[in-house]
Amino acid sequence: MQPKNSASIRIPMGDFDVYLLSDGYFGIGDPQPILAPEIAKENVHNALKELYLPASDYEIPITTLFIKKESQNILVDTGEGYHDPLNAGWLQNSLFEIGISPEDITDILITHAHRDHIGGILLQDGKRRYPNAQYYISAPEYNFWTSEERDFSESKLSSFPTGEIQIQTLEAIKNDLTIFEPGEVLFSCIRTEAAPGHTPGHIIFHVFSGDQSITHLVDLVHSSLLVAYPEWGTQWDVNFEEGIATRKRILERCYLNTTLVTTCHLPWPGIGYIGKTEQGWQWIPKAQSDPYSIRI
């Protein structure tokens, strides 16, 4: 039987609904060197074992967020689109599952311009997938990707991205693009916050409605391994050390405030809390009974 290739979970938040939508996942094989690039293999294997995570054939989900609010249909990031047909690019199916077609999307918030977040903006022929959408990106993120001198000297990658997808995509949407400063409130329900390191303009944000709120950590952590060992870092961070500092600072705050968080790359559906053990922080998935809906 053909797999269904879609998944959605609704989170009612008073006047509007938030959805977690699956875009599928991608495999990275051995988790190193992408995760914990400079840590001894034995230590990483012990930690993976401790967390019941695989030491090979490691997979990373891609989860997007969608907000259905009165006349607005707000999509946060767009997944891989056509770029990774192997196990990703499911977002269209997941939107279809909740009755939303590409024409219905009114606004798209770009948290940062990595391919698994902006890859779904354009179709393979260069046309826009969401013909009626307005786009939003933070000023530092826009400035980084459109600058002639993108600085990857603080990253642990062996080869640096060319920026081709980013430039092509930002150019294609420039007439409908709003550039905001981190900290600004968008759509009267999203307060943005700077979380630099993963990329210079990487933002996290807080969705609020009355006394309810969810903090979307986006790419602050790519694995529960990095919740437990945030200082081990990832090659995917443009600034490795800044990524670690931002990760630790925000994880601690989420722990202290018992913040309900969502994430793009923690095990589906990636919603939970940051706990603490004697060694450090710990990913605590939110208890869920109804597979299609989460009460907060």
Residue with smaller CB distance to Zn ion, 69 or 156: 156
Q: How far is the CB of 60 from Zn ion (least distance, A)?
A: 8
Interface with Zn ion (CB under 5 A):
116, 219
Residue 107 or 219: the one with the smaller Cβ distance to Zn ion is 219
In whole angstroms, give the CA distance from residue 109 to residue 135.
Answer: 6
The 10 Å Cβ neighbour count of residue 86 is: 10
Please report how close the Cβ of residue 264 comes to Zn ion at its closest, in angstroms: 5
Contact assessment for residue 182 and residue 138, using Cβ atoms and an 8 Å cutoff = yes
Least separation in angstroms between residue 65's CB and Zn ion is: 13
CB 195 within 8 Å of CB 250: yes
| 209 vs 263, beta carbon nearer Zn ion | 263
Separation CA 204–CA 206 (nearest Å): 7
Nearer to Zn ion, 80 or 209 (CB): 80
For 110, residues 6+ apart whose C-beta sits below 8 A from its C-beta are 77, 117, 118, 135, 136, 137, 141
Nearest distance from C-beta of residue 272 to Zn ion, angstroms:
18
At residue 271, φ and ψ (nearest 5 deg) are: -115, 135
